Structure 1
Amino acid sequence: MKLKRFLLRYYPPGIILEYEKGGYLRTKSIDLLDLTPETNPDELVAEIRQSEPLITESRAEQVKHLVLRLQQKQGQQNHHRFCFCKELKAHILPLTNVAFDKSGSRFITGSYDRTCRVWDTASGTELHMLEGHRNVVYAITFNNPYGDKIATGSFDKTCKLWCAETGKCFHTFRGHTAEIVCLAFNPQSTLVATGSMDTTAKLWDVESGEEVATLTGHTAEVLSLCFNTVGNQLVTGSFDHTVAIWDVAAGRRVHTLIGHTGEISNVQFNWDCSLIVTGSMDKTSKLWEAVSGKCVATLVGHKEEVLDVCFDLSGQLIATASADGTGRVFSATTHQCRVTLEGHDGEISKICFSPQGSRVLTASSDKTARLWDVQSGVCLQVLEGHTDEIFSCVFNYEGDTILTGIHRPHTHPSSDNHTLLKCSLEQ
């Protein structure tokens, strides 16, 4: 094995090794999830050298320099305010979802108008309109970190794969017998997973457009799914109150996670693939071991349904959003609630961490989004201006741009009340 070069990953902190083995170029990741500005870089480099033979003594100083750069990035955490930047009349019918590419230079919107649109973030210009679906375009995503492909899942029971650069449709994946409501690319961008109201999930080959596997076993709609960061496992959450872990290569179920007494609202792996968090309409979230499928903790405190749940990028914290109008931040290790986020006057449908992990963003039916300090639970900023409930909010990879989206499902399509998307930039 011959080390060729280092690549730096800021969020979550890590160093990627590019090396040659057997005539092929390969990569491996050194995750530094516990890195803080106070970490002793010399001690950390010594630990890395003990566990990674590619890091020889001659490379130690170079690795130390990379660690210092990561620490410097962490030290740049700030509390600048976000200023309203743009309001986009994105579609003539309600919005369904929004998503950034990794760089944040482009984003996509799905809509009841049967299209997905690609936008330039800086200018607010529409770059492409992806047309071809015969019903609502509900689930949308880029193949991050590459960002050169887009997948769209529709109520027309199909998923389409598009070129992000040209808007050309590569493939139409057919096989589901009901609406597609969730989808995801694997990290290698070789597979797309789709979840459907027909109780199944399917795996599709990006290159050939062929179906790879049908994942059966749920007895109700599959509403959420997520690949782990290695890409060898997929987790699905269903209205049947259960969660399933699947072996991607074999297309078979490894574990069924039983314990929730209500529909599953969201499922997510943490970064190192060791844990899964689930949110449920039973007012709780649960933490599970990915290897054993064992429930290690039930996160309680909410008085109404848990509508969204997520890990921070380091996997140290969990955020939950509820119909009771509050958010909560839990420790993934102690399972204790660290802060309660109180201030919204309506249910919180979406919650996410900034890439740096220092802030939490929430979207609410009270027509506002809020930015919170993770440590204190203090509301740092109320993002106002929308005239209807906000159902979606997302950070870009750098954490300096926020998108918030509303939809008006009760608005007559011919009226002038278009679906609105607001873009806020950090100042």
Structure 2
Amino acid sequence: MGLGIILEYEKGGETKSKSIDLLDLTPAANVDAVVDEIQRIEPLITASRTEQVKQLVQRLQEKLGQQDDHKFYLFKVLRAHILPLTNVAFNKPGSRFITGSYDRTCKVWDTLSGEELHTLEGHRNVVYAIAFNNPFGDKIATGSFDKTCKLWSSETGKCYHTFRGHTAEIVCLSFNPQSSLVATGSMDTTAKLWDVQSGEESVTLTGHSAEIISLSFNTTGDKIITGSFDHTVSVWDVGSGRRMHTLIGHRGEISSAQFNWDCSLIATGSMDKTCTMWDAVSGKCVATLSGHEDEVLDVCFDYTGQLIATASADGTARVYSAASRKCMLKLKGHEGEISKICFNPQGSRILTGSSDKTTRLWDPRTGQCLQVLEGHTDEIFSCAFNYEGNTIITGSKDNTCRIWR
């Protein structure tokens, strides 16, 4: 839940979008005053839209007010695949999730019952990167070591398209927010954008000199960033495929690259033990967040973009303030490297997955460990919250996926 509203409007026949943040909204704030303030700074919101905006703000407020002392318990163990899992991902409402595996399939699951709905078969090698086309959730993309990406119906399990063109393994992918494009990143040093409707390649992003292992669209979908083993991150214009900036400064491979919610900042994690913040418009380095004693394996913003969390091979996670660029908290307790970190959409919890076979829940205000989710018998490489923040899925090298609620 990014605390804010994204406006879509027509200008010169083009659909544009603009984000308004509501980072200071509290459960006690006066809704009328908040809406007046929004209208004062945003002429796009006309009098006829006031009631709609008011309802949106009220809904956000209710979400904020919900108390967050939820204790998670193990709901179900899915012995999902005959070989290790590679990734897990939820659809937007969290009613379904998918698992990718070395067994060359992707499975679609019903979260509520833990039942398997579909097995997506057809790849000739490891299914490594998987995604729903959120927020819609009617399609799934799978990227494989067989060098292809496939597009499926999440309703029927039917394969719509097979995207061919990469000359090496596909290791990361993402839909744009409009769900009109799929981006794939490959060990062949390129990323490609594919048209969801036609199944044709739209553009190839060339310029990296080593594998691309991370890619991410901004919230409006007009830019995409790619992180590479060549120690750089590139910012591309989606429409033209032109490289706008190269973020140069890291001294090791990039592990993770993310935009914040209003697309003004980019955070990158690297094997050089640092996380760097960049101005997304100018491509300039804003700050280097240091302190970890080993590789930074994952980075994420909370949904307001005020906090950056980093996960490291040193077994700790850190929370930095995006504004002051200072380390606010160190999350200590794991006994092995932490490869995954994420906030719940409400911003009130941090989830970390580690090679010590546990997932931990932390309070981002105090740094306290609130819960240890135990039971996997091998390292955890993937963990995710649903949109409500009341269900967690964890994927492990032990070939199982667990649902916690």
Rounded Cα–Cα distance in structure 1 between residues aligned with 2:319 and 2:296: 13
The answer (yes or no) to whether the contact 1:77–1:356 under 8 Å persists in 2 is: no
| Structure 1 segment 23-422 matched on structure 2, within 5 A | 30-53=20-43, 55-57=45-47, 60=50, 63-408=53-398, 419-422=399-402
Rounded Cα–Cα distance in structure 1 between residues aligned with 2:268 and 2:220: 19
Deviates more, 1:308-317 or 1:24-33: 24-33
1:58/1:159 CA distance change after superposition, 3 Å: closer
Rounded Cα–Cα distance in structure 1 between residues aligned with 2:197 and 2:99: 24
Rounded Cα–Cα distance in structure 2 between residues aligned with 1:209 and 1:65: 39
In the superposition, the TM-score normalised over structure 1's length comes to 0.91
Deviates more, 1:375-384 or 1:22-31: 22-31
Rounded Cα–Cα distance in structure 2 between residues aligned with 1:305 and 1:327: 11
User: For residue 116 of structure 1, what is the amino acid of its counterpart?
Assistant: C
User: For residue 328 of structure 1, what is the amino acid of its counterpart?
Assistant: R
In the superposition, the TM-score normalised over structure 2's length comes to 0.96
The answer (yes or no) to whether the contact 2:232–2:246 under 8 Å persists in 1 is: yes
Deviation at residue 69 of structure 1 after TM alignment = 3.1
Which ranges of structure 1 fall in alignment gaps of 5 or more residues? 1-10, 409-418
> Residues 192-229 of structure 1, C-alpha deviation per residue, up to 9 Å, x if partnerless?
11000001111110000111111111110000000000
Rounded Cα–Cα distance in structure 2 between residues aligned with 1:292 and 1:118: 41
Rounded Cα–Cα distance in structure 2 between residues aligned with 1:149 and 1:357: 27
User: For residue 392 of structure 1, what is the amino acid of its counterpart?
Assistant: S
Deviates more, 1:294-303 or 1:50-59: 50-59
User: For residue 243 of structure 1, what is the amino acid of its counterpart?
Assistant: V
Which ranges of structure 2 fall in alignment gaps of 5 or more residues? none
Rounded Cα–Cα distance in structure 1 between residues aligned with 2:13 and 2:225: 35
Deviation at residue 91 of structure 1 after TM alignment = 0.2
1:243/1:17 CA distance change after superposition, 3 Å: closer
User: For residue 118 of structure 1, what is the amino acid of its counterpart?
Assistant: V
Rounded Cα–Cα distance in structure 2 between residues aligned with 1:343 and 1:18: 44
1:283/1:89 CA distance change after superposition, 3 Å: same
User: For residue 400 of structure 2, what is the amino acid of its counterpart?
Assistant: L
The answer (yes or no) to whether the contact 2:19–2:262 under 8 Å persists in 1 is: no
Residue 403 of structure 2 corresponds to which residue in structure 1? 423
Rounded Cα–Cα distance in structure 1 between residues aligned with 2:153 and 2:34: 42
User: For residue 312 of structure 1, what is the amino acid of its counterpart?
Assistant: D
The root-mean-square deviation of aligned C-alpha atoms, in Å, is: 2.0
Rounded Cα–Cα distance in structure 2 between residues aligned with 1:178 and 1:17: 39
The answer (yes or no) to whether the contact 1:153–1:180 under 8 Å persists in 2 is: yes
